[in-house]
Structure 1
Amino acid sequence: MLSKFRTTEISDPRFESNQLRHITVKSSNLRQRGDITVYVPSGYNLEDLPIAILLHGVYGSHWIWSQKTGIHLKMESWIKNKEIKPMIIAMPSDGLWGDGSGYLPHTHADFEKWITEDVVQAVIELIPQASLQSKLCIAGLSMGGFGALRLGVKNHHMFMAVSGLSSITVLKEIKLFVQEPLTSYHQLEKENESIYQTILKYKEHIPPFRFDCGIDDLLIESNRKLHLQLKKLNIKHMYKENPGKHEWPYWETYIKDTFLFFNNILNK
């Protein structure tokens, strides 16, 4: 396969541990290098595995899901216990702009296409257990929830299922977290600034999706509002509130709901 990327690097299996691999590619969308941590299930003769893209929140990077929640260890256990069928988890950086790129197109780099084009391509090129036949899902937390829900709905032709945890629902909420001015995130397409507006635009073609939020989360009211807006439109979705705040113990606890949801959709 002819590589889409000018340069690619992948970790040497001799020095990898706990089923984690690490990729760096030079991305034309980022106009620089981008990193992806990848969980690949153990076992032989695994091919065409589904790929779940897992997006981080502000301040984070490609390593944070594995090193803050142990998601790779959890997945290995869930697969061995036959709770979930084998799937790859691709955990990219958001492009490392400011405190967080929002997974949006910016004037100097397209952080959206980095996820929907480059990350998928890099995993298919460099991970033997993935292929063009691999089915795709996408999820994320906070800013990553905003990215996952928006990109998953917008690219409904790509993604089989979509999930957000403690999601930012409108772009202006990113100012609760980042140092950069809101004007830096300005979008020509206004649906890029609101999950509800994105869903409204693509409401005839929405993949199965869910979102959840902690009852003591600073984003709970906006998640409730989105849920009510979708109910009024009779747009099918799953919404759940759980005990917890906007913090890693919540995401570590409730990420399993997302992967059970993906597993159910992928294996219908």
Structure 2
Amino acid sequence: MALFSCNFFSEALGLTTSMTVILPQTTRAQIGMDTLSGGSKHPTLYLLHGLSDDHTIWLRRTSIERYVAPLGLAVVMPAVHRSFYTDMAYGGKYWTFVSEELPALARSFFPLSDRREDNYVAGLSMGGYGAFKLGLSCPNRFAAAASLSGVADVAGGKTRFPQDFEAIFGSEPVEGSRHDLFALASGLPGSSQASPQLFQCCGTEDFLYRENLRLRDHLKELQLPVTYEEEPGSHEWGYWDRKIQRVLEWLPLPAREAGV
């Protein structure tokens, strides 16, 4: 595998920002790595960080590079700060950045596929919210979206992080808006036929567990294609390290879908 630390200018944000990228590399002599590179344009996982972290955290807390090596899967990990993947009321246009500019720039820099069936998004906590927001808002671009211990009910964040909430959403009502995962799921045209595959998990001791249950039930009521898993666990990296491996097993990779 090849690892890139990429600094670049964002027109959407008006500043220089960063992403970390893992690319498949077929090797014969690398010790301890089972690697695969399956073509000129790589299937891609956009992997999103949580509220208190940055684009380096998945590499620092998990073995994500080793986990994706045998899959021929590229991984793009952008920095979005404490933005909730949103065009902030008092801050940067991080939704425009992550939903429009980032994929276009990443594909201009690296050999990444633009086919829907080759693109996936996953994240933890705030990043789990961002992953489902991307999957439900842009279902024509992503074949799958995975939320690990995700913030399922973002409107509830007003009491958990009031200063961030004001900077992100201002006075705009969140419930029922384009920021609300429940509303986004309800608004999918054609319901399950239009949705990406969804994976949702949360530890039973996590402070976000109850709201994840409510979102799970909502998705099932809409008959959306959701795989839900729970097990003992809290809001911590031991849990997320295990579950990102499960997400990678679950992803509908083209070779896997073709039975190769």
The farther-off stretch of 227-236 and 61-70 is 227-236
2:19 is the counterpart of 1:22: no
| DSSP 3-state at the match of 1:255 | helix
**The one of 218, 223, 232 aligned to 2:221:** 232
Q: In 1, are the aligned partners of 2:45 and 2:74 still within 8 Å (CA)?
A: yes
- Return the TM-score normalized by structure 1: 0.82
Opposite residue 47 of structure 2, the aligned amino acid is L
Equivalent residue of 1:180, what SS? helix
CA distance in structure 2 between the partners assigned to 1:103 and 1:92 by the alignment: 11
Pair 1:105-2:87 in alignment: yes
2:241 counterpart (236, 242, 252): 252
Aligned counterpart, 2:59: 66
Distance 1:240 1:203, change over 3 A: farther
Distance 1:162 1:87 in 2: 15
Contact 1:216 1:243 in 2 (8 A): yes
User: Counterparts of 2:87 and 2:165 in 1: how far apart (Å)?
Assistant: 14
**Quick one: distance in 2 between partners of 1:162 and 1:132?**
16
Q: Write the distance in 1 (CA, Å) between the matches of 2:101 and 2:12.
A: 8
Alignment TM-score, normalising by the size of structure 2: 0.84
| Partner residue in 2 for 1:114 | 97
**In structure 2, what is the equivalent of residue 198 of structure 1?**
184
Counterpart of 2:127 in 1: which secondary structure?
helix
What is the root-mean-square deviation of aligned Cα atoms in Å?
Answer: 2.2
- Tell me the equivalent position of 1:90: 76
Rounded to whole Å, the distance in 1 between the matches of 2:38 and 2:225 is: 37
Change (3 A) 1:265 1:191: farther
Could you tell me how far 1:182 is from its partner in structure 2?
2.2
Which residue type is aligned with residue 74 of structure 1? Y
Alignment of 1:9-48 (within 5 A): 19-43=2-26, 46-48=39-41
Identity percentage of aligned residues: 24
Q: Write out aligned runs for 1:123-142 (5 A).
A: 123-127=106-110, 129-133=111-115, 135-142=118-125
Deviations 1:164-222 (A, max 9, x none): 00010121344576462422222467433321111111152211111100111110010
Q: CA deviation at 1:232?
A: 2.5
| Unmatched tracts of structure 1, length 5 or more | 1-17, 80-84
Unaligned runs of 5+ in 2: 27-36
Deviations 1:7-59 (A, max 9, x none): xxxxxxxxxxx621111111111111121101112216741111100000011
- Per-residue CA shift, 1:44-103, capped at 9, x if unaligned? 674111110000001111101111112112222xx0xxxxx3110001111x2xxx1000
State the alpha-carbon separation in 2 of the partners of residues 122 and 210 from structure 1. Answer: 27
Q: Per-residue deviation at 1:262? A: 1.5
- The separation in 2 between residues aligned to 1:35 and 1:176, in whole angstroms, is 30
**Among residues 39, 47, 50, which one is paired with 1:54 in the alignment?**
47
CA change 1:45–1:69 in 2 (3 A) is closer
Amino acid at match of 2:147: G
Deviation at 1:254, TM superposition (A): 0.8
Tell me by how many angstroms 1:163 deviates: 0.6
